A and B are shown apart, each in its own frame.
Chain A
Amino acid sequence: QVQLQQSGPGLVKPSQTLSLTCDISGDSVSSNSATWNWIRQSPSRGLEWLGRTSYRSKWFNDYAVSVKSRITINPDTSKNQFSLQLNSVTPEDTALYFCARGARSLSAYDYWGQGTLVTVSS
């Protein structure tokens, strides 16, 4: 059974960096049959895919244009986890953030983290 456990602060100051981590159990961040994604949800923007990392003989990253200049998603094979860093945050980045596994065989997100509410405020 795959489980994703998120961690990270719930409050970030404007202009600073939002950092979240997603610990994976029951699968590997290096799996050839999965992608590892960050998705956020807010009343104004709905569900918004932010980006993903995946391993296919080498590491690939893919980011949404809306955040591409500010986002980094990194895998950590030693800890079997992946992380999200979002720089220069504004109150518009206030949202519920989810990590999720993209199953290659399903072309869908079949396992999700519990969600982390991140508020950007001074």
Chain B
Amino acid sequence: EIVLTQSPGTLSLSPGKGATLSCRASQSVSSNYLAWYQQKPGQAPRLLIYGTSSRATGIPDRFSGSGSGTDFTLTISRLETEDFAVYYCQQYGSSPYTFGQGTKLEIK
């Protein structure tokens, strides 16, 4: 099983700042199979990024993804109040299809 470890656990930032979220895999993940999701309280996760760097439909371009192998990053430039949520990475390349434990992005 591929274990995904996200850091930091919590990130406190102010609106307008940039955020960098990390996801490290216990084994190499094909770049085609790394996704990022955003989850707000009481809602299902929402797909942001697939294939490491492709934005899902309707996702603003302040969200970007990068990485390869075992290290992946979600970057959010110019944080808006609606961006404060929990973010999860997920790998789709090897069953079981695992998720990271999440990074909570909170308003400072």
A residues with CB within 8 A of B: 46-49, 62, 64-66, 98, 100, 102, 106-110, 112-115
A107-B96 in contact given A46-B102, A47-B45, A112-B45 (Cβ < 8 Å): no
| B14 proximal to A (CB < 8 A) | no
Q: Which residue of B lies closest to A111 (CB)?
A: B47
B residues with CB within 8 A of A: 1, 32-33, 35, 37, 44-47, 50-51, 54, 56-57, 88, 90, 92-93, 95-102
Q: Which residue of A lies closest to B95 (CB)?
A: A62
Q: Closest CB-CB distance, A112 to chain B, in whole Å?
A: 4
Main secondary structure of the interface of B (DSSP, over half): loop
Neighbouring B residues of A48 by C-beta, 8 Å:
99
Q: How far is the CA of A11 from the CA of B35 in the complex (A)?
A: 32
Q: How far is the CA of A100 from the CA of B90 in the complex (A)?
A: 14
Neighbouring B residues of A115 by C-beta, 8 Å:
44
A107-B33 in contact given A47-B88, A102-B92 (Cβ < 8 Å): yes
Q: Which residue of A lies closest to B1 (CB)?
A: A65
Q: Closest CB-CB distance, B25 to chain A, in whole Å?
A: 15
Q: How far is the CA of A46 from the CA of B57 in the complex (A)?
A: 26
Question: A65, B99: Cβ atoms under 8 Å?
Answer: no
Q: Which residue of B lies closest to A48 (CB)?
A: B99
CB contact between B45 and one of A65, A66, A106, A109 (< 8 Å): that residue: A109
Q: Which residue of A lies closest to B49 (CB)?
A: A108
Neighbouring B residues of A114 by C-beta, 8 Å:
44
User: What 3 A-B pairs come out closest when comparing CB atoms?
Assistant: A112-B44, A47-B99, A108-B35
Q: Closest CB-CB distance, A48 to chain B, in whole Å?
A: 7
